Amino acid sequence: MKFVSHMDRALAEARAAAARGETPVGAVVVAPGGRVLAADGNRVRERADPTAHAEMLALRAAAVALGSERLTDCDLYVTLEPCPMCAGAISLARIRRLYYGAEDPKTGGVAHGARVFSHRQCHHVPEVYDGISAAESADLLRDFFAMRRNAT
Ligand SMILES: [Zn+2]
């Protein structure tokens, strides 16, 4: 089967998040056959919900769409390295492959910090592919924070 990246869709969700004044991060959950089950961006401020990260929203919506708490053989695309909370949720959801864009040394929990998937207590470890459209993802974040700094 031909590999089709859904990172462009995740980047579109990240841009939409920035337009809403949210940290520009976007996520997409794709079913085994390649169908997009869910896509969303950060909505932490909009919902006044510290857990409303793009990955959490996309995982929840995909689980509802499938009628199952397990997203077996589904893949997740996210523009930024997931934080520890989202990495935990990715494991619980049994995501098959995690594709992410920019690395996040500050709050990431996959290649940095908690390194959630590297612990024995993590019972499902996805295949991880990093650096997918990393430059575009990082540019979005940099521009967003530069704009915010200039606004204050
Ligand atoms: Zn997160």
- The residues annotated as belonging to the active site are 55
Q: Is 6 annotated as a binding-site member?
A: no
SS percent in the chain: helix, strand, coil, step 5: 35, 15, 45
Average pLDDT score over the chain: 95
CA 109 – ligand 1 centroid, Å: 9
- 92-131 confidence digits (pLDDT tens): 999 999 999 999 999 999 999 999 999 999 999 999 999 9
CA 64 – ligand 1 centroid, Å: 19
CA 34 – ligand 1 centroid, Å: 24
Q: Is 124 annotated as a binding-site member?
A: no
Contacts (Cβ under 8 Å, ≥6 apart) of 10:
26, 27, 28, 39, 54, 77, 78, 79, 101
Contacts (Cβ under 8 Å, ≥6 apart) of 142:
none
Average pLDDT over every residue of 70-77: 97
In sequence order, what are the beta bridge partners of 26?
41
CB of 83 within 8 A of CB of 102?
A: no
CA 23 – ligand 1 centroid, Å: 11
pLDDT score recorded for residue 56: 98
How far is residue 136's CA from residue 86's CA, in Å, rounded to a whole number? 21
